[in-house]
Amino acid sequence: MQVAILRISRKIHRTMGAFLFLFFFIIAITGLLLGWKKNSNGWILPETTKGISTNFDNWKTTKELLKISDSILITKVDKSLSTKLDRIDIRKDKGIVKFIYTYDYWEIQLDGQSGNVLRISQRRSDFIEDIHDGSFLDYYFKNDGEYIKLIYTSIMGLSLFLFTVTGFWLWFGPKLIRNKKRK
């Protein structure tokens, strides 16, 4: 019985490894890059700058800052870019506001008080994360529900679980069989 389970485990492990090698390779590389994003000297994740005031009373309104950011995106980066906003990251303790755009992974950091541009950067970390979790396919196919991401992460998570179980059995099974033969 244990020899049969060992053969089945070996076959599952080998077949899944052959089919999913490229996906696991991509997940490993992107996971490594994401782990290092804050230690990449701003190449993967743009470093956060500092503004002149942390007092909200002195800041421009979010609406005013957004208008400045959209204008900068169009005039300084590329006039064909979409100004659809993904999120606004307010860093009160640093005196800045980050405007992160949905498409093309751009970020504009503005001083909260003056509205001056502190940094214009591409967020490679967001692109890497989208590859890592498969959501770039939803983006590419303009799928709002992230269905591809859900299917992809489910398949990869279950595969990793099966790899762990079969890998353990491939290691432990022969030891168990040898111990039985000695008795």
pLDDT score, position 181 = 79
Cα 101 to chain centroid distance, Å, stands at 15
The pTM of this model reads 0.83
Cβ proximity of 81 and 73 under 8 Å: yes
Q: What is the DSSP letter of 97?
A: E
- Residue given tokens 């005196």 in the structure block: 95
Residues facing residue 50 across a β-bridge = none
pLDDT score, position 103 = 86
Fold type of domain 46-122: Nuclear Transport Factor 2; Chain: A, (3.10.450)
| CATH 3.10.450 domain locations along the chain | 46-122
pLDDT score, position 142 = 81
Q: How far is CA 1 from CA 10, 80, 103, 166, in A?
A: 14, 65, 55, 15
pLDDT score, position 30 = 97
Q: What is the mean pLDDT of each run of 10 residues along the chain (183 residues)?
A: 86 90 95 97 96 96 98 96 96 97 94 98 96 90 87 94 92 85 76
| In the chain, beta strands by DSSP E | 85-91, 96-101, 106-111, 117-122
- Following DSSP, what letter does each residue of 16-62 receive, concatenated? HHHHHHHHHHHHHHHHHHHHTGGGSTTSSSPPP---S---GGGSPPH
> CA–CA separation, 111 vs 50, rounded Å?
7
Q: Exposed e or buried b for every residue in 96-109, given b needs 16+ CB within 10 A?
A: bbbbbbeeebbbbb
